Amino acid sequence: MKNLVIVESPTKAKTISKFLGEDYTIKFSMGHVMDLPKSKLSIDLENDFAPQYEVIDDKKKIIAELKKLAKTSDTILLATDPDREGEAISANIEELLLDGKKIAKDKFQRIVFHEITEEAIKEALKHPRALDVHLVHAQTARRVLDRLVGYKISPLLWKKVRRGLSAGRVQSVALRFIAEREREIEKFAKQDYWTISATLQKTKNQALKTKNDSVAFALVEINGEKIDLQEKFDLYDGEYTVGKTVLDTELKASDIVKELTSKPFVVVDIVQKQMRRSPLPPFATSTLQQEAARRFGFPGKRTMSIAQKLYEEGLITYHRTDSVTLSSAAINVVRSFISKSYGESYLPGEARLYVTKQKSAQEAHEAIRPTNIAKTVDVVKGELEDAYAKLYDLIWRRTVASQMKDALIDSTAVIADAKADSVYRFKANGSVLVFDGFLKLTPQALEDTKLPQFETGEELASADIRAEKHETSAPPRYNDASLIKTLEEKGIGRPSTYASIISTITDRAYVERVDRRFTPTAIGVAVNDFLVANFSTIDDAPFSAQMEDDLDEIANGRKEWVAMMSQFYAPFEKQLDGVEGAERVKIAVEELDEKCPDCGSPLVVRYGKFGKFVSCSTFPDCKFTKPLVEETNLICPKDGAKIIIKKTRKGRKFYGCSSYPACDFAAWKIEDIKKT
């Protein structure tokens, strides 16, 4: 019996071929085989929004080969990825191979697997099914929706902002988050505040067995009023403070320091308790991208590319998933591994079960995990490049740690009052790791801050009292991790789209990365302002989230995609008509302290297809241009020349010596320059 198996990639085909015999021919499509032509809208608005797909030019040869093989095959197995996009690719391939009923439809079968292992492939072959039309319709609706928004709004951007610009449905919302954060930062008014610390020592020859025989205490209350009124916000890899504090002037702080100098202190309370830290769930797509960005600085696109290869090589389960659950079989394997490798003391009495918090966990039924838990990074390191080994190790550790015991931490807080006219209360915190539990495997170690033994009522002497000035800080700019987290929390896009959302707005030069954080460009600000002013209902987080919910409903068979498109398009069309008379948005230009060599007018920074460049401010009257050199205050450690910001061919920024090619020094981060 002849079986034709069709997958997307050569790597996937190569891995699957290891598990199937001579009766199976495995071929790949190299991804999508059909798409909407770029030269026109390609959506039939008069015929239920029917997409007018065409075979992609460089896939015609592949389709011809598949047609030839299909004619001589008894069964055609469509084995594309287990999600909406994979279902749509299979539907397109089936449509092309049917070729007007030249091949019988009952030859086609769809098989789905979430890991590329021999067991999973053979199990999938036992359960073939027909194509899921609901998943196909959901993907079609997304494609049509994005095409309508992009192709209808983009011409308006050409007219009202600048030629060559384009808009995207979910990308525009991400741009809005970044632009609005930038305005928050610009408007933020810094405030000064002070903190007071006391270095306290035991008296009566009871020396502390700590560094310098002393412990640092922080002032927390004055006459019962808490002084730390700063509101602290953690924006995932970035913290900021706002608000006011009792100690808001230097005079208040210095008066307290004077009053407390040489004053004795007394311990009034000691609070001891044991705290537990529990492991995090295994990775879903969004959390994998966030952690890879935070730990390794990987953009989402790179993380997904690496994960794709790990999946196709059969090392991890499918990497596009909202789920944080593990199958019972996988849990049993992990628990057995923990018991054998680390001992029973690290194994909880019962398996840990995690619940997906997303309203609609789609596609993959499991979290991302290694397919063989016995394959540690040391086992596979020889097969993988460094970046692939790093990501695999991250996934492996998170999976195993998720089934380990809690870490136990003994926490101690010592409260001491100063003997002064007012009641000044100070506090010192200490913690000791009693049992490491899952922390044995996680990258972040917990540092002990053990306090010496104190007794209630004992007197302490002050070795040093000091006030320290601080400033409230503005919200940090988004980085890959915090932007992906925000998109997920707001329901914008889905795990498989986060990487493309970010790469699209960076590729279009709407935002740029500065020290791994996103800053909107002048073009990005102009585009955002135009969209917010004229398409506030579309360029809006709740609207985009509702669209995603509607697509989920279509995928689940509870909503018709044509009805959903009709509901969207009628008001959208009216909105388009009303924007024709909107005012043009000016792109802010940065004027340089430099004159045009041709006409003497000021030079300005403009944005082109390939990024920033220097142009005469009188353009188009004067057409002088030159490349923009972004200077820094850094000095090259090799030859002492200035460090400038450069770009790779793919647009990634790095630091390089201005005297290149005489000096070839380059670095990705400022820290790398300082280290050298």
Residues in a beta bridge with 614: 605, 626
Amino acid at position 477, single letter: R
Query: Roughly how many angstroms between the first and final C-alpha of the chain, as a whole number?
Result: 64
Residue in 53, 318, 424, 510 annotated catalytic: 318
Q: What residues form DSSP beta bridges with 630? A: 645
Contact, 322 vs 497, CB < 8 A?
A: no
Joined tokens for residue 279: 């492991």
- The dihedral built from the CA positions of residue 18, 20, 23 and 26, taken in this order, carries a sign that is negative
In contact, 429 and 216? CB cutoff 8 Å:
no
Which element (helix H / strand E) includes 188?
Answer: none
Contact 116, 314 (CB under 8 A): yes
Question: Following DSSP, what letter does each residue of 489-503 receive, concatenated?
Answer: HHT-S-GGGHHHHHH
Q: Contacts by 244-248 with C-beta closer than 8 Å and gap 24+? A: 244/191, 244/193, 245/193, 245/194, 246/222, 247/193, 247/194, 247/195, 247/196, 247/467, 248/191, 248/192, 248/193, 248/194
Residues written for the chain: 676
Distance CA 7, CA 17 (A): 11
Which two three-digit tokens encode residue 556?
A: 């689940």
Beta carbons within 8 Å of 73's beta carbon, 6+ residues apart? 2, 3, 4, 25, 107
Per-residue CA distances from 447 to 275, 433, 450, 469, 599 (Å): 15, 8, 9, 27, 63
Helix ranges (H only) for 161-244 are 169-187
Mention every residue, 6+ apart, whose C-beta is less than 8 A from residue 14: none
Please give the structure tokens belonging to residue 466: 């000091």
DSSP 280: P
Look at residues 220, 201, 195, 193 and name the one whose alpha carbon lies nearest to residue 466.
195
Tokens 């540092």: give the residue: 447
Buried b (16+ CB within 10 A) or exposed e, 224-250: eeebeebeeeebbbbebbbeebbbeee
Picking from 657, 603, 658, 647, the residue whose alpha carbon sits closest to that of residue 509 is: 647
318 a catalytic residue: yes
Distance between CA atoms of residues 441 and 433, nearest Å: 15
Query: Do β-strands 215-222 and 423-435 pair in parallel, antiparallel, or remain unpaired?
Result: antiparallel
| CB of 24 closer than 8 Å to CB of 3 | yes
Identify whether the C-beta of residue 243 lies closer than 8 Å to the C-beta of residue 230. yes
Q: Which two tokens stand for residue 51?
A: 């997409």
* Residues annotated catalytic, as ranges: 318
